[in-house]
Amino acid sequence: MPTSGDGSGALPHVVLLPSAGMGHLVPFSRLAVSFSSSDHGCGVSVVTVLPTVSSAESAHLDALFGACPAVRRLDFHLARFDASEFPGADPFFLRFEAMRRSAPLLGPLLAGAGASALVTDIALASVVIPVARELRLPCYVLFTASAAMLSLCVHFPAYLDANAGGPVGDVDIPGVYRVPKASIPQALHHPEHLFTRQFVANGRELAKSDGLLVNSFDEFEPEAISALRDGSVAAGFPPVFSVGPLAPVSFSAGEPPENQADYMRWLEAQPTRSVVYVSFGSRKAISKDQLKELAVGLEASGHRFLWVVKSTVVDREDEAELSELLGEGFLERVHGRGMVTKGWVEQEEVLKQESIGLFISHCGWNSVTEAAANGLPVLAWPRFGDQRVNAGVVARSGLGVWEERWSWEGEEGVVSGENIAEKVKAVMADETVRNKAVSVQDAAAKAVADGGTSYRSLAQFVQRCRDLSVSK
């Protein structure tokens, strides 16, 4: 067993097992780079589950292994299974199902990896933790959303047990806060929904893990993190390591996207804090009617903007032309003041630009942590899943504002362009919001700096893995 050379013990080898979706791969890549850095000095392998769900994922993984030769690639080929059993199912559900059926193949792969610890994605917890237990391999879980959402995930099985069969209402998480019914992920309103069954199975299994890593920091989510640690959410819950915001990784996926030179050059030429960046993440598109109103709103706000009209892996509406999606003449009218792209943008690079003044975000948790690390005010417009819970964190922490009545998936309304324009103008003019976002950035920088809360949490986690390597 190689040793660290500083007397702190054997070099641990951590195997990371991400789930599908860029929102999951991105934090795992960041964790891989961080573990293998000189600060933490671990051996790291990343399990690449094949086939990947999208080409963006393949490109991202190739870039990770290309740029970081110290990170080992462990290919895992899913067993074949007939997806026609689940007509119309979300590709992420299908991936979970394929992983569940392939679990017997996972044991030999992990047994041969020489790992001192495994870190699995929350989305696979109920499949992977039992396999690791069988191998006596210490198993940790990376929770890729907020600590607030983690506390909901931990408490939800008990909530359902107590409400046996009753409708899902507000959920009061002990020691944290009351999550209003409207913020509970839509699928969870239906206890028999496949997603709910997976969510509950994952939530129950967490207590049997050796610990949880969460991409958040103590100063950002004090209530949820302390309540998870002090046993208020669930007695005897394993240790929680808050290690965020995980540092961006500086490799780009293959060739830079075709559009990148254009928008980066344009952003560099804009005045400080003058541009509104709009992105709803990598998974679901917003409705065509809402897209049109958003176009009206951005135009009427009078502000500059960079808008990523997402190409998604789930919805197909992105096949339409931009001019058709956004209304005739829109692109010509905003020419020079607004840029619109359907392609993948290097968001980490965009958010670093001085010219960005506001982020209209769906509150995917990676986007929230990236806004926090860059001190960028967020106008939260959550759409589905965990995003309304994350938006609550944005509002409570002061990172931004959340118009709670704005529509979300499962709720029919369309927000008018007029409302959007008013809100954008108000937030762009609000010095208090901007200053608060900068305070969050300062707190984030302190948390990850040597001696900060997240730095220490990550170091404690690595030390645990070292101790495990020695005792093996």
Ligand X SMILES: O=c1ccn([C@@H]2O[C@H](COP(=O)(O)OP(=O)(O)O[C@H]3O[C@H](CO)[C@@H](O)[C@H](O)[C@H]3O)[C@@H](O)[C@H]2O)c(=O)[nH]1
Pick one of 203, 211, 245, 281: the residue that binds ligand X (CB under 6 A).
Answer: 281
CB of 441 vs ligand X, minimal distance in Å: 16
Q: For ligand X, give the closer residue by CB, 345 or 399.
A: 345
Are 144 and 215 contacting, i.e. CB atoms less than 8 angstroms apart?
yes
Among 92, 344, 402, 461, binds ligand X (CB under 6 A): 344
Q: How far is the CB of 206 from ligand X (least distance, A)?
A: 15
Nearer to ligand X, 374 or 469 (CB): 374
CB-nearer residue toward ligand X: 144 or 209 = 144
Beta carbon of residue 40, minimum distance to ligand X (angstroms, whole number): 21
Q: Which two tokens stand for residue 134?
A: 């069988």
207-246 residues in contact with ligand X (CB under 6 A) are none
Q: What sign has the CA pseudo-torsion 214, 216, 218, 220?
A: negative
Given 308, 360, 399, 462, the residue binding ligand X (CB under 6 A): 308
CA distances for 9 relative to 4, 96, 337, 467, angstroms:
6, 36, 57, 7
The window from 293-301, 339-347, 408-416, 459-467 that contacts ligand X (CB under 6 A) reads: 339-347
**Stretch of residues binding ligand X (CB under 6 A), selected from 97-105, 107-115, 291-299, 340-348:** 340-348
Identified binder of ligand X from the candidate list 203, 244, 357, 385, rule CB under 6 A? 385
Smallest distance, Å, CB 122 to ligand X?
8
Q: Which of the 8 DSSP states describes residue 318?
A: G
**Residue-wise DSSP of 181-209:** GGGS-GGGGSTTSHHHHHHHHHHHHHTTS
The helix, strand and coil proportions of the chain, stated in percent and rounded to the nearest 5, come to 45, 15, 40
Residues shown for the chain: 472
Residue 11 φ then ψ, to 5°: -75, 120
Minimum separation from the CB atom of position 344 to ligand X (A): 4
Tell me which stretch binds ligand X (CB under 6 A): 81-89, 152-160, 176-184, 275-283: 275-283
366 or 454: CB nearest ligand X: 366
Question: 12 to 31, contacts with ligand X by CB under 6 A?
Answer: 21-24, 26
Closest contact distance (angstroms) between CB of 102 and ligand X is: 22
As annotated, the active-site residues are 24, 121
Burial environment of residue 252 by CB neighbours within 10 A (0 to 12, 13 to 18, 19 or more): middle
The size of the interface with ligand X (CB under 6 A), counted in residues, is: 25
Q: DSSP label at 179?
A: E
Footprint (CB under 6 A) of ligand X, residues 86-145: 144-145
Q: Which is nearer to ligand X, 244 or 281 (CB)?
A: 281
Identity of the residue numbered 61: L
Q: Give the CA distances from residue 264 to residues 30, 142, 351, 353, 390, in Å, rounded to whole numbers and listed in that order.
A: 23, 32, 11, 9, 28
End-to-end CA distance of the chain: 10
Contact map string, positions 352 to 371, toward ligand X, x by CB under 6 A: ------------xxxx--x-
Q: Taking CB under 6 A as the rule, does residue 282 contact ligand X?
A: yes
CB 209 within 8 A of CB 133: no
What is the torsional sign of CA 152, 376, 437, 274? negative
Nearer to ligand X, 281 or 398 (CB): 281
Structure tokens at 34: 């961080």
Quickly tell me which residue has 């992920």 as its tokens: 185
Q: For ligand X, give the closer residue by CB, 137 or 308.
A: 308
How far apart are CB 250 and ligand X at their closest, in Å? Answer: 13
Whole-Å CA distances, 115 to 213, 418, 465: 18, 56, 10
Of the two residues 35 and 365, which places its CB atom closer to ligand X in the complex? Answer: 365
420 to 459, contacts with ligand X by CB under 6 A? none
Nearer to ligand X, 102 or 387 (CB): 387
Q: Are 308 and 278 in contact (CB under 8 A)?
A: yes
Q: Which tokens go with 74? A: 């462990």
Stretch that binds ligand X, among 109-117, 234-242, 345-353, 434-442 (CB under 6 A): 345-353
Q: How many angstroms separate the CA atoms of 314 and 228, rounded? A: 33
Q: Which of 350, 332, 382 is nearest to 276 (CA)?
A: 350
- Residue corresponding to tokens 């969460």: 214
218 and 242 Cβ atoms separated by less than 8 Å: yes
Shortest Cβ distance from residue 83 to ligand X (Å)?
A: 21
Q: Work out how close the CB of 366 gets to ligand X at its nearest, in angstroms, rounded to a whole number.
A: 3
Which ranges constitute the DSSP H helices of 345-452? 347-352, 365-374, 387-397, 417-429, 431-448
User: Footprint of ligand X on this chain (CB under 6 A)?
Assistant: 21-24, 26, 144-145, 279, 281-283, 308, 344-348, 364-367, 370, 385-387
